[in-house]
A and B are shown apart, each in its own frame.
Chain A
Amino acid sequence: MSTGTVAGAEKGTARRAPLVALRGVTHSFGAVRALVDVDLDVHAREVVAVVGDNGAGKSTLAAVVAGALVPDAGEVVVDGDEVALTSPAEARRLGIAMAFQDLALCDDLDIVENIFLGQELRRGGVLDEVAMESEAERLLASLAARVPSVRAPVAALSGGQRQAVAIARSLLGDPRVLVLDEPTAALGVTQTAEVLNIVERVRDQGHGVLLVSHSMTDVQAVADRIVVLRRGRLNGVFDASRTGYEDIIAAITGVGPGLRRGGERS
């Protein structure tokens, strides 16, 4: 949590320890400084949105939290302990799961097969379809996701349904923090609403959600706190319920009236 106008802190989130925290994370791709000294907290039962212009470092930040990228400098703290997230598998072990931006689904496999791909349940060495199907039904029902059948091939699903399957898959094993990278990109209005519903449900189940998005409407609809990145630096952390659209746009672009420069640390 950065200094300045951190309005969200007053909601009581600061009193609880964050599930995941980044402290002074810096990362470069060659000469490009993708992240510079970024701090970030994700608490339980909270949607933290990361917004910013193209190339602001949003996806890099998500990759660091999900263990897909080891930053050049800075700490990742899980439950108060500094950890080394060297791989997505390690992050999963610590309770951080990510739904990929491209969903990483196999079209020819059905929903159950996709949800459990690589983590199949077995019974006596043989795939336990009954247990997997029950669990898939339970996961999708908990998200209120609407699909024709859990045995429908993923190729037959709409974009929103596919996103629901990808989120259900990342919820396997009950992670505490879920990282979603642009879950509503390329979706229509109705499907976007469905996915945002799912995000809220995931939060209400007690998970922390880190939502990377460049859609301001989506972010304002579901986020509890909004973290703005600008050229790799933190440019403000806002309480979503008390911050106007213009303020956030101003923080994203770095211009305009009413700019509340919260996160710029010199």
Chain B
Amino acid sequence: MTLTGERSAQPVGARSMRQSPSWRHGGPAWGRWTHDVTSLPVLVGLLVLALVFQALNPNFLTADNLVNLTLQSAVTGVVTLGVVLVLLVGQIDLSVGAVSGLSAAVVAVGFVQQGWPLAVSVIAAVVLGAVVGAIYGWLYTRLGVPSFVITLAGLLVSLGLQIQVLGATGSVNLPYESWLVRFGQRTFLHPGVAYAAVAAVVLAYAASRVVERVRRSRAELPTASWGVIAGRSGLLAVLLLVPTWYLNTNRGIGASVALFLGLVAVTDFLLRRTRWGRSVRAVGSNPVSARKAGLPVARVYVTAFTACTALAALGGVLSVGRLAAANQGTGGSDLNLTAIAAAVIGGTSLFGGRGSAWSAVLGALVIHSIASGLTLLNLDASARYVVTGVVLGLAVTIDAVSRRGRVLVGT
């Protein structure tokens, strides 16, 4: 592996250079694939979890259980996606659970007790969430209060507001026929739509790779071979088609799952292909350098905090749809911890600057695989906390060790 070190250094532009740039940017794929596939440990972990739980209880990999698992993951995943953004800029938001709980309360009370149209309640809840994040961003960038403390304060305030909004009963049920509940519980993509979406994604992926390859070869940059492009596109097709087919043997792909995956895809695109995304990673990596490079550092922080709490609020809305109720426990400490744990388990660094939107998907799947597997084994929350905690510890250790490795190599 000619990753690093001066001994392997080549003059730029020499023929021998033409093998290493990463696939991520349209170059050849396999030169430094370990660098690109930071999600490899979690993929292996997910596979091991699936095999172990399946061995212990043959119901684990049934289509019915997996459909439930994806529905649960979607709610956590939306919240996790926001946490990923905040971690990428090198900050933390400890209040995502409380904000999602507050948002759930606003939706339920607004719709059921105040008689607002459901759409208005949903929008109000998400906007309220965004405002909370904007306040965090303002406090952090203007007054320099550490995000750890701001969001801890935000957690308490949101929790208090949630109880206040829910009022004396402490629990509000939504009618089953409201569209939010139908969306969360009973709306699944028509198999035809699901397969069409898979086909569209694979075609778009292959097309973008081909365009990239043509442009790179015109610019005389190293290119991926046609075989690799075809192979990768084929692999993507298989990776998407198999789960789609398997889930469709049962209820299929839930609407909330599709929404979650869509949000992840959009976020991933923004992070990798826009100036804003580049700024997010730069600020998380080194805010001082980012400022010297002329990036709008304060604005990047504010957008990350705002997007995080807005997504947390959206997660709260989805949980109302899924559970058809909001109560004092919605988005409690459980969601708070699992969302942050999922982001780190999925491969986003706690130290900022490194991570991907897809880590929300992987992390949420790991967390809920553990929960689902242990439930099937008739183990209660205590076992779930312990196992999740161990997995989180493992993920953070991998993160810290890989960071130390990079620092050592860098000197």
Contacts and interface: CB of A to CB of B under 8 A. Distances in A.
B197 interface: no
Q: Report the contact-size class of chain B (Cβ under 8 Å from the partner).
A: 35 or more
B407 A155 contact: yes
B216 A108 contact: no
A148 B10 contact: yes
A113 B277 CA distance: 12
Nearest to A89: B294
Given A148-B10, A152-B4, A126 B274 contact: yes
A146 interface: yes
Nearest to A126: B273
A252 to B, nearest CB: 30
A147 interface: yes
Given A104-B289, A117-B282, A118-B294, A130 B221 contact: yes
A161 to B, nearest CB: 7
B295 A118 contact: yes
A133 B9 CA distance: 18
A138 B220 CA distance: 11
A137 B352 CA distance: 28
A127 B25 CA distance: 11
B149 interface: no
Q: Report the contact-size class of chain A (Cβ under 8 Å from the partner).
A: 35 or more
A107 B290 contact: no
Contacts of B285: 106-109
Contacts of B10: 146, 148
B275 A122 contact: yes
B235 to A, nearest CB: 22
A155 B3 contact: no
Given A117-B293, A156-B406, A148 B3 contact: yes
Contacts of B8: 148
A94 interface: no
Interface string A145-174: 111111111111110010000000000000
B410 A156 contact: yes
Contacts of A149: 17, 20-22, 31-32
Interface in B290-305: 290, 292-295
A141 B9 contact: no
A144 to B, nearest CB: 7
Interface string A93-135: 0000000101111111110110001111010011101110110
Nearest to A87: B294
A140 interface: yes
Interface in B15-50: 17, 20-22, 24-27, 31-32, 35
A118 to B, nearest CB: 4
A107 B21 contact: no
Contacts of A122: 275
B289 A156 contact: no
B5 interface: yes
Nearest to A68: B292
A120 B12 contact: no
A158 B411 CA distance: 6
Contacts of A102: 288-289
B212 interface: yes
B284 interface: yes
B227 interface: no
A194 to B, nearest CB: 10
A110 B20 CA distance: 13
Interface of B: 2-6, 8-13, 17, 20-22, 24-27, 31-32, 35, 212, 215-216, 219-221, 272-275, 278, 281-282, 284-286, 288-290, 292-295, 352-354, 406-407, 409-410
24 contacts: A106-B282, A106-B285, A106-B289, A107-B285, A108-B354, A109-B278, A110-B22, A113-B278, A117-B282, A117-B289, A117-B293, A119-B294, A126-B273, A127-B275, A129-B25, A129-B212, A130-B215, A133-B25, A133-B221, A144-B11, A147-B9, A148-B5, A149-B17, A149-B21
